[in-house]
Structure 1
Amino acid sequence: MRKSLAVILAAAFAVSLAGCTAIPTATSCTPLSPAGDASNAVSVTGALGEKPTATIPTPLLSTKAETTTLVRGHGAPLTTGTIANVQASLYYGKTGQLLTATNFDAKAPLQVTVGVTSTSNVGKYLQCQRDGSRSVTVMTAKQFFGAAPDPSTGLTSTDTLILVTDIQKTFPGRATGALQLGQSGFPAVVTAPDGTPGVTISGSAPTQLRYEALRKGDGATVKKGDEILVHVTAIDWSTKSSFTSTWTSKVPQALRAESVTDSASGQLDPGSAKALIGQTVGSQVVVVVPPKFGYPSGKAPSGYPTNATVVYVYDILGIE
């Protein structure tokens, strides 16, 4: 029986995804590493999100970072600070050898911050990519690691590496909800352009749990037991200094929306759990937790101040 035209086109479309060619980058976004001859020379086969096969003309050498988009994806181009769940494979340019890769388990992705330099710059060159995209970046080992590679890797700074990255899911890098009218008596929160909160505390510490949404998101509602992705800053009321903040590294934290007193898998103090459950994704929530609503003895994370009233600013970025 003859195949319908729709089936033939669908098959042709599947083949075009399996054997990717370069797609022009959106003109509204300027990538950190534009496409070039080296990145355009790499072809990749395999379904998005599954272990790919890269064909690399060897030796492939480059002294600058280049990124070619192989599958465009959907939505707006990603900007610095966006959080991305990715699967990635790293190859050696001289031989084409696969050096390392993620496990390609959709439930256990590598989470990176777009455009941010870290110990391995998987996210650094993803600017202007999109949710559901596949890209290939050719760069030196020094550009990948952000510094000269550790001697134990056997790599030199000028060795060429090829990174193939599939973006599975993205989250905004900060709370994006609508601004709300603040209540009196709360610490004042001013947000920097990159989303980092600055907190001003005055007066006596309250004795009761207090919380409010400074921004109200329109995303899903956080339920007890959800795995939520947050940026969080925690400040000791008495010293008025922050003792922990994910904004320092620009890497958010995944937390179970459950108190340590409710479940062995709970991660939040009782006050924060009460404040966050029922909030919506995209919200920024300030929580003031007096000691009696804080972590019980022996349950607090390392570095948590003893018998302190703690001010938290949570940006709820998503639900995993």
Structure 2
Amino acid sequence: MRLRPFAALSAAAVSVVLLAGCSGLGGGNTSASPSATDAAAVDLCDAQAPAGAASDAVTVSGDAGAAPTVAFTSPLDVSELQATVVSEGSGTPITAGDFVSYAMTAYDADSGEEIGQIGYEPGQLMPTQISADSPLGQVLGCGAPGERVVAAFPASESSAAQVYVVDLLSIVPSAAWGEEQAPVEGMPTVALADNGAPTITLPGGDAPTETQVAVLKKGDGYTVQTGDQVLVQYTGVRWSNGETFDSTWDKGGVPTSFSTTGVVTGFQKALEGQTVGSQVLVVMPPAEGYGEGEINSTDLKGETLVFVVDILGAQQATPTSTE
């Protein structure tokens, strides 16, 4: 028995028991693409599945954000997706396009047995971008952080009927939120726009011959480890002329995700050992970037590169969880 994958997560980065399988609501990929933010006008309140006899039959105790105590009479007859709000959240409601952090515990609707739980500890689940047509959006609706929902899923071709308790933990900011740190002398300087987008100013002199990393903001979250998936915003400039060659901020300000081992060495050094919520400045020579060669306008060979990276979320390469 497996949990339905609310988030589009790499098979190498999640627990096979907890997050493999098919959602039964149009596929497992529930992370919205940048174009999905065009659907921000869609009211998530209207997207939330209605309560029903199955979801209403589940008794839940405990506070949102911690593993719940659940009771229901099994087998539970689940004919369609149902969602019952157990406790309301507080603060700003979520809207389509937001990235959210959440936790969930799943049960077999036929036997009543717990299948597993995940997300209650830092680093277990990547923040997910929510949309009105995703399973997570249809469960949480336009709830606010602290909301707890019982969701009853009918059986699909690949999974038996299941019951979830889903907690909305937080709305993830689009820029690093950590405590500002003192600048490092001799490194590039960074100015931030109101939305958090950085402008990088290079110092005079020769480019460094070794990778340099400085923390601009120190976050208070999970510490990124080798092989973890990360959710980041970034801007990269060429040392040779100061021109920006790539930036998530220039692509709608939508964060992107990847493994720390799936990027060049200098970028990897900027991520691993840092905490979620941090903003990191890294200067990397060609050897730890895109390789030695003659600097040109078509690729990044020979370039010393400068990145400002906002670390917004992370998921352990092998999440710890219960089964």
TM-score by length of 1: 0.51
Q: CA deviation at 1:286?
A: 0.6
CA distance in 2, matches of 1:110, 1:277: 16
The structure-2 alpha-carbon separation of the partners of 1:54 and 1:304, relative to structure 1 and needing over 3 Å to count, comes to farther
- Partner SS, residue 262 of structure 2: coil
| Corresponding position: 1:239 with 2:255 | no
Residue-by-residue CA offset, 1:246-299 (whole Å, 9 max, x unaligned):
222332222222xxxxxxxx21211122232211111100101111221348xx
Q: Which runs of structure 2 are paired with 1:173-184 in the superposition (5 Å)?
A: 173-184=174-185
Alignment of 1:305-316 (within 5 A): 305-316=300-311
CA apart distance, 1:84: 2.1
Q: Percent identity?
A: 30
> Match for residue 225 of structure 1?
227
CA shift at 1:205, angstroms? 4.7
Match of 2:264 among 269, 273, 294: 269
Structure 2 equivalent of residue 280 of structure 1 = 275
Contact 1:42–1:54 (CA<8 Å) still a contact in 2? no
Deviation at 1:306, TM superposition (A): 2.2
- Aligned residue number for residue 191 of structure 1: 192
Correspondent of 1:84 among 60, 84, 100: 100
| Structure number, greater radius of gyration | 1
- Per-residue CA deviations over 1:29-64 (Å, capped at 9, x if unaligned) read xx99596xx78994455489xxx86689xxxxxxxx
Aligned length: 217
State the one-letter code of the partner of 1:180. Answer: Q
Secondary structure in structure 2 of the residue aligned to 1:315: strand
> How far did residue 177 of structure 1 move?
0.8
Alignment gaps of 5+ in structure 1: 1-30, 57-67, 88-104, 136-165, 258-265, 298-302
Distance 2:118 2:207 in 1: 44
Residues 7-35 of structure 1: CA distance to partner in whole angstroms, max 9, x if unpaired?
xxxxxxxxxxxxxxxxxxxxxxxx99596
Paired residue type of 2:216:
L
The one-letter amino acid of 1:183's match is: V
Alignment of 1:38-49 (within 5 A): 42-43=50-51, 46=55
Normalised by the length of structure 2, the TM-score is 0.51
Write the letter of the residue equivalent to 1:246: T
What is the CA distance between 1:245 and its match in structure 2?
1.7
Q: How many angstroms apart in 2 are the aligned matches of 1:130 and 1:32? A: 19
> Are 1:129 and 2:124 counterparts?
no
Q: Distance in 2 between matches of 1:222 and 1:41?
A: 35
Within 5 Å, give how 1:30-109 maps onto structure 2. Answer: 33=43, 42-43=50-51, 46=55, 70=85, 72=87, 74=89, 76-78=91-93, 82-84=98-100
Q: Which has the higher contact order (CA 8 A, sep 6+)?
A: 2
What one-letter code is carried by the residue in structure 1 that aligns with 2:256? Answer: Q
State how far apart, in whole Å, the 1-side matches of 2:254 and 2:125 are.
14
Amino acid at match of 2:269: K
CA distance in 2: counterparts of 1:250 and 1:196, whole angstroms: 8
Match of 1:251 in 2: 254
Mapped partners of 1:39, 1:82: distance in 2: 15
1:158 corresponds in structure 2 to none
CA root-mean-square deviation = 4.7
Partner of 1:210: 212
Give ranges in structure 2 of 5+ residues lacking alignment.
Answer: 1-40, 61-77, 104-116, 151-165, 293-297, 316-323
